[in-house]
Structure 1
Amino acid sequence: MDEMTQLRELRADAPVPDRAALAPGRQRLTDSLAGGRSTRRLRADWRIASIGAAAAITAAALLTTQIGSDGPTHGATAAAPLTLDSPAEVLNRAADELAKQQAAPEPRDDQWIYTRTKIAQREPKAGSAGVGRLSYDPDSWVPYDNSAAAENGKDGDYRTARQVYRAADELPDDPALLLAKVRSFYPTGHTADSLPEAEAQHSFRAMGLMVEAYPIAPDALARIYRALATVPGVKVTDHLVKDAAGRDAIAITRKEDGSHEQREILISPRDYSYAGMRFVAAEDYEMKVPTGMKVPPETYKAGEVLTSEARIRAAVVDAEGQKP
């Protein structure tokens, strides 16, 4: 068996990558390798750090981040006691608060979306098969109307900020109809590299992509939260967790089908905005290592954070490079 085959099989049990989330990162990495900026930001799907992507990532400038590093907090939690007993209770309460908020005007087509992000990743043991480094730029500027990228990109699931904003604004109130619309907006895979998903997992993945979009009208996000609570298998962690910036966050979770990990959508307990995402070990397990690879197996404990992304700031600005 050749080395590349071994590398591909090493994380064969990992869930299918989010093509919509990874497409911008692929382009930035390509630009970097072609002589662009040395630290291009990669979107935070933990599978970026899989062995299959290791060769490309290592070719770029490598920055190491640690889970639990210092960072700002969201601030005080909501005034009323927050009970994390059920996802429906949490998400419906969040929706009620969001529905009271006034929406800002939709950005102009010539404006930019600025985000600042912090990524943290589990560092593997010395000599293990894992990859503990990730290259990214915490500051990002993307045109609100990024039509050129949407039209020229190879990933059919890529959506511009404008497309997501308008699609979210038109979502129906009925949760079942809303979920169907979002699944259609972010379709499941149909290739060997992006296999079809079961409906519940497809819904949770697609809703996660919709929730992390910026900007999104408060009433649209409220409808999304209400529908998210109805996805089969969705849960809420019974205590606040820490995001990659060390802030408290509510974790809305679902175990990935056929995997040992769970995907978590993180929400601020202060204003119920999107705070970030995490992949966490749902159970104790040992990563399989192909026969012939001389590395010790990597072991994981239930509750261990594999990768985490925190959105520290997001804003609409008038020009690339401008910060709010």
Structure 2
Amino acid sequence: MIRKKSRREESLDHAELARLLPAPGDPHLSLDRHLLLEEHLMNEIQSTASAPAPSRRPARRVLLIGIPVTAAALAGAIAFTALTSPGGSGPGVATPPPVEAPVVRIEPGSTAQLASTVEHIAAAALTRKTPEPGPGQYIYIKSKVSYLVVSHTDADESKTLVQPLHIREVWNSPDGKQGWLDEPGYQPKGGITLDSNVERSLNAPSYDYLKTLPTDPDVLLKKIYKETEGQGNSPDQEAFATVGDLLREQLAPAKLNAALYRAAAKIPGVVVVEHVKDAAGREGIALAHVDQKSGDRTEWVFDPKTYTYLGSRAVQVKPADDVQPGTVLEYTAVLERAVVDAPKQRPGAQGTDA
């Protein structure tokens, strides 16, 4: 007896399959698993693509939104569980769990003292003794930092999570071609190389590159606007952020430092904010600018007496993306800035590796 195959045995269309199979579940991962999956996907992309040069500075805002995960993504997350521990940012790295972002009272900003404050800051930069790295030496920056992890979770849209405050140390050669980053809990034990042959620019500066920049504030600001055109949420915000990035993990000649401050004062929207604290809890006075699209205010914190740059802070000042006003999205503090003779060497330990 010859059995004929029914039409259903020969082929099944998508609609028929959907009718026959049980309805799929709605897998929902915890926040830790969301972050783990996203980190894995980023690692996979970086390992299979032509890797760009490592960033010479911390990201302005690290944003990972807790999103629903599909069944396919869930399978990938389960497969990845065997490769690393929960919460890790890579094999062998156990990243500390994020914490709820601090909330502060929003201090009003004003232009009333802007000109005089900037002149005090610029004058102090000109008179301050700045070490100059020689051939074979490295610029060392030690900071205490915390950056945004998620702006809100699926379970609580009002909760913003950030990294716990932690130490970050960076070494860079004057030409920017060699470097090292040590950030326990966020990089593999012992740190990672920052060696790179990327062309130096405002977005990837080196000490040697900074020495070539104009020290006339008007000419410098014009160059910044031109080279950052089309980036960021607005030309003014991008110009302000670019200057801030040059202050954070770099060493600049005194004349250029003064020019950067004077150029920043010419950016529309820049104000002075009093009673601002950096990540080390040091109180200072700040030059600040609000990103009108994201609603957060970037603040550069200076010592109110010596006008030394202390660190930076980003505070939400307008409701946006479910982030509540007063939320501190990121904050940093420069603890040490020096010139050393080798990567992984710390000031006071010349001749020995860290």
If the length of structure 1 is used for normalisation, what is the TM-score? Answer: 0.64
Q: Distance in 2 between matches of 1:41 and 1:62?
A: 19
2:207 is aligned to 161
1:183/1:206 contact within 8 Å kept? no
1:156 & 1:94 partners in 2: Cα distance?
22
CA contact (8 A) 1:50 1:131 kept: no
Q: Indicate if the aligned counterparts of 1:44 and 1:119 stay in contact, CA closer than 8 A.
A: no
Report if aligned partners of 1:150, 1:158 keep a CA contact under 8 Å in 2: no
- The alpha carbon displacement at 1:235 in A equals 0.4
8 Å CA contact 1:44, 1:308 repeated in 2: no
Aligned letter for 1:251?
Answer: A
User: Identity, % of aligned pairs?
Assistant: 25
Aligned to 2:281: 246
Partner of 2:335: 312
Q: Secondary structure at the match of 1:250?
A: strand
1:277-292 alignment to 2 at 5 Å? 277-283=312-318, 285=319, 287=321
The one-character-per-residue Cα deviations of 1:99-133 (angstroms, maximum 9, x if unpaired) are: 334554x3123111211111135797884354433
In 1, the alpha carbon distance for the partners of 2:66 and 2:208 equals: 32
Q: Give the AA of the match of 2:240.
A: F
Query: 1:95/1:151 Cα in 2 relative to 1: closer, same or farther (>3 Å)?
Result: same
Out of 215, 226, 239, the position equivalent to 1:172 is 215
SS class of match (2:197) = helix
Classify the secondary structure of the residue corresponding to 2:61.
helix
| CA apart distance, 1:67 | 6.5
Cross-structure match for 2:95? 62
Contact 1:150–1:159, Cα closer than 8 Å, also in 2: no
Q: Quick check: 2:146–2:166 contact (8 Å CA) kept in 1?
A: no
Residue of structure 2 equivalent to 1:94: 121
| 2:253 equivalent in structure 1 | 217
Does the 8 Å CA contact 2:124/2:308 hold for their aligned counterparts? Answer: no
Q: Residue 300 of structure 1 aligns to a residue in which SS?
A: coil
Q: What secondary structure sits across from 1:240 in the alignment?
A: strand
Gap regions ≥5 residues in structure 1: 4-25, 35-39, 69-82, 190-194, 288-297
Q: How many residues align?
A: 255
User: Matched residue of 1:163: which SS?
Assistant: helix
Pick from 128, 131, 134: which aligns with 2:156? 128
What is the 5 A alignment of 1:43-54? 43-45=57-59, 47-51=61-65
Assess if the C-alpha contact under 8 Å between 1:66 and 1:121 holds in 2: no
| Counterpart pick for 2:262 among 226, 230, 233 | 226
Aligned residue number for residue 35 of structure 2: none
Which residue, 125, 138, 143 being the options, matches 2:168? 138
Relative to 1, partners in 2 of residues 1:84 and 1:271: Cα closer, same or farther, differing over 3 Å? farther
Q: Which protein is bigger by CA-based radius of gyration?
A: 2
Summarize the Cα distance change of 1:128–1:181 in structure 2 as closer, same or farther, 3 Å threshold: same
* Bigger helix share: 1
Paired residue secondary structure (1:171):
coil
Secondary structure of 1:98's counterpart equals helix
**Structure 2 vs 1, CA of residues 66 and 45 (structure 1 numbering), >3 Å: closer, same or farther?**
farther
